[in-house]
Amino acid sequence: MALLPPFIRASRTAVSRRPRTVAPHPPLGLPADDEVLLDVPDDRLGPALVAAGRGAYEAAAALLAGTAERAEWEYRDRYVTRLASFARSRPEWFEDWRAAAPQDPDVLLVAAQLAVERAWGSPARAELLREVSPLITAAAQGDHRDPVPWRIALDHARGSNAGHKYFGELWEAAVRRAPHHYGCHVAAKRYLAESWHGSHRECFDFADRAAQDAPAGSLVQALPVRAAFAYLTDGCGPDVPRERLDAAADRAIGLSARFPASDPWTAEIRNLLTYVLVRLDRRADALDQLRLIGPYATSFPWGRLSDDPLGHFLVVRESVCSGGSGEPPGHPRNGHGERAYPADH
């Protein structure tokens, strides 16, 4: 289990972005542009979202109950995030579920995630997030094995400008429940990025220790490549040696190889890895990842570079296939290589 080092907070800076167009032709040997989809749910989440779109919550309730029964915390985290995002635009099904089972641990968990997301984009974010604390506490009390409420608490602490000591206490509580939970590690790395603006070596140290301690098939193996992404899109702070960036990419390539091609579960990691490989001018490796991605583009990281993440992905894909190299077009939307939302998993 990686130990979280001391935290030092610094301010964030804004960065500009440029609009981009969609690639005009499908790259050779890959799905055509019109076959590529954005943020496709897996076979378990998809039916729950379809049912929710029709106003029924039962499928979502069964889905989350099953993840708790089987202690599938990584799936549970991702499903909670997607269901909460869906409830932001289509709240009726969730309000019916909440009315029918107000103390259900799964209802409490989605409610906490939803409340954090709703507060996140407000100018009064810190104040609004402080009002959300009771919801997160209730979610954490629902199932004492579950690390997901603690991931939400870590995101909440970052957004509400919590101090280092308090954040460290949350971190210890999270990793006691699941020492290698990817979402909690991402939340901690993102807090570090804001606490140590420009000090990417410390973020790399944390990510590398976590990956070294985690099993070979754990998603935590992708944490160093997230640190590489943050560094490559930040544009500040001391240089990180090229070999460290390559090592992060190589570790993520090894993780990607453990999963089947055209796999929605690992699509986000492969999209992120593709960005880093292109920035490192490793075109052949980037093309390999594009083949493994198949038709599954993801909002992260491309939504950090453009208001049209799918179009941006296709532009980069076309550039790789046509022999382009170097920096993908566009600039990140904030100073830390992360989307301006509470969590990306």
* Average pLDDT of the residues of the chain: 87
- Across 156-160, 175-179, 326-330, least confident range: 326-330
Give the span between the Cα atoms of 5 and 66, in whole angstroms.
Answer: 35
- Residues of the chain with pLDDT > 70, as a percent, come to 83
What 8-state DSSP symbol labels residue 337?
S
The mean pLDDT of 35-40, rounded to a whole number, is 97
Alpha carbons 280 and 297: distance in angstroms, whole number:
20
Spatial separation of the C-alpha atoms in residues 194 and 203, rounded to whole Å: 10
Burial class (CB in 10 A: 0-12, 13-18, 19+), 121: exposed
- Residue 22 pLDDT more than 80? no
Is residue 239 very low, low, confident or very high in pLDDT (cuts 50, 70, 90)? confident
Whether residue 275 contacts residue 298, with contact meaning beta carbons closer than 8 Å, is answered with: no
Higher pLDDT, 298 or 236: 298
Task: Tell me which of 181 and 3 has the higher pLDDT.
Answer: 181
**How far is the C-alpha of 114 from the C-alpha of 121, rounded, in Å?**
12
Confidence of residue 265 (pLDDT cuts 50, 70, 90): very high
pLDDT in tens, 68-111: 999 999 999 999 999 999 999 999 999 999 999 999 999 999 99
Cα separation, 21 vs 286, in Å, equals: 21
Q: Is the pLDDT of residue 11 over 50?
A: no
Residue position matching structure tokens 């100073």: 335
SS3 state at 38: strand
What is the predicted pLDDT for the residue at 133? 95
What single-letter DSSP state applies at residue 27? P
Give the confidence band of 237 by pLDDT, cuts at 50, 70, 90.
low
